[in-house]
Amino acid sequence: MRIVVANVNTTERVTEAIGVQASSVAAPGTEIAAVTPSFGAASVEGNFESYLAAVGVMDRVSAVTEPFDAVVLAGFGEHGKEGLAELFEVPVVDITEAAAHTASLLGRRYSVVTSLHRTTGQIRDRLALTGLDSRCASVRATGVPVLDLENDLDSTAEHIAREAQQAIEVDGAEVICLGCAGMAGLDERVSERIGAPVVDGVTAAVGLAETLVRLGLKTSKVGGWATPLSKEISGWPLSGR
C-alpha cells in the first residue's frame, strides 16, 4: 500500500519530519510518500496561506505519477480536504478530522493545542464542518510559531503540556490533540507530562487511511465530492492535469 502524505507548506524540513513520523506507525508493507507543494508559504498560519496551500496540495498530489492508495492532508485546520476528495477516488484523510475522530474514541471531550492564537478560529471552523465540534472542549494556542516548534523540543513540549493541563482542568478535556503537523513526534512526551492520551493527527491519519484501504472503502462519488466536471481551466499551469 502506498500513502501520499502531503505537507501544506513549502518547508522541506517539515515534510521530512512528517514523513518520518508517518513511517514510524505505518504497517509493514505500507510505503509513505511525503510530498511538498511546489508553491506557497513557508509555514501556514492563517486563511490566506491555507487557501494557497489547498491549491498547492491539490497541484502537488495531482503531479504524483506512481499509483497510490490514499492521501493524507498533513495540515491541521487547513483548507483543501473537499477538493482532494473530489479529485481522487482513493480515500483522503485530513489530519484535523483524523485527530478529532481518534480522540473521540478515547474520551468524552478533547481539546486541541495549536501554534498561534490566530489559527484557533480556523481550526474551530474546520472541526464544525467535521461535525465533531460538540465534543471539542477548547482550542488553545501555545504562541509558538510553526517554524519555531522544532527549535527546542523540550521547551515546545513544555508549552504544549501547560496548555493541555489547562484544557483538562479548566475546559473539561479528557484527550489532547496536537494541533499542528509540525508537532508530530511530541505526543508521547506531552502525554507523559499530563497523564492523558495525546493524539498526533499525522499518525492517526495514517492509521485511518490504512484501515480504509484495507476495508476496500473509497470516497463517495454520489454527492458533494463527485469527480469535477470536465471543463476548461485556463491561465494556470496546474501540474499534471
Binding to a copy of itself (CB under 8 A): which residues in 151-190?
A: 168, 172-175, 188
Q: Do the strands 92-94 and 70-74 form a parallel or antiparallel pair, or are they unpaired?
A: parallel
Nearer to a copy of itself, 50 or 156 (CB): 50
Distance, in Å, from the CA atom of 142 to the CA atom of 133, rounded to the nearest integer, reads: 20
Identify which of 204, 183, 215, 228 has the alpha carbon closest to the alpha carbon of residue 72: 204
Binding string, residues 16-55; x marks residues near a copy of itself by CB under 8 A? ---------x-x---------xxxxxxx-xxxxxxxx-xx
Q: How many residues bind a copy of itself (CB under 8 A)?
A: 93
Distance, in Å, from the CA atom of 74 to the CA atom of 33, rounded to the nearest integer, reads: 12
Q: Are 116 and 143 in contact (CB under 8 A)?
A: yes
Minimum distance, C-beta of residue 152 to a copy of itself, in the bound complex (Å)? 21
Give the list of residues 6+ apart from residue 129 with CB closer than 8 angstroms, or none: none
Identify the residue among 2, 20, 125, 193 touching a copy of itself (CB under 8 A): 125
Binding to a copy of itself (CB under 8 A): which residues in 136-155?
A: 145
* Element housing 175 (H / E): strand 175-178
Minimum distance, C-beta of residue 43 to a copy of itself, in the bound complex (Å)? 7
Minimum distance, C-beta of residue 218 to a copy of itself, in the bound complex (Å)? 6
Three cell numbers at 217?
Answer: 472503502
Identify the residue among 162, 189, 193, 218 touching a copy of itself (CB under 8 A): 218
Our finding on whether 120 is near a copy of itself (CB under 8 A) is yes
Identify the residue among 79, 95, 99, 112 touching a copy of itself (CB under 8 A): 79
Minimum distance, C-beta of residue 68 to a copy of itself, in the bound complex (Å)? 16
Using a 10 angstrom Cβ sphere, with 0-12 exposed, 13-18 middle and 19 or more buried, the burial of residue 116 is middle
Angle at 161 between CA 100 and CA 169, to 5 degrees: 75
Identify the residue among 18, 87, 157, 177 touching a copy of itself (CB under 8 A): 87
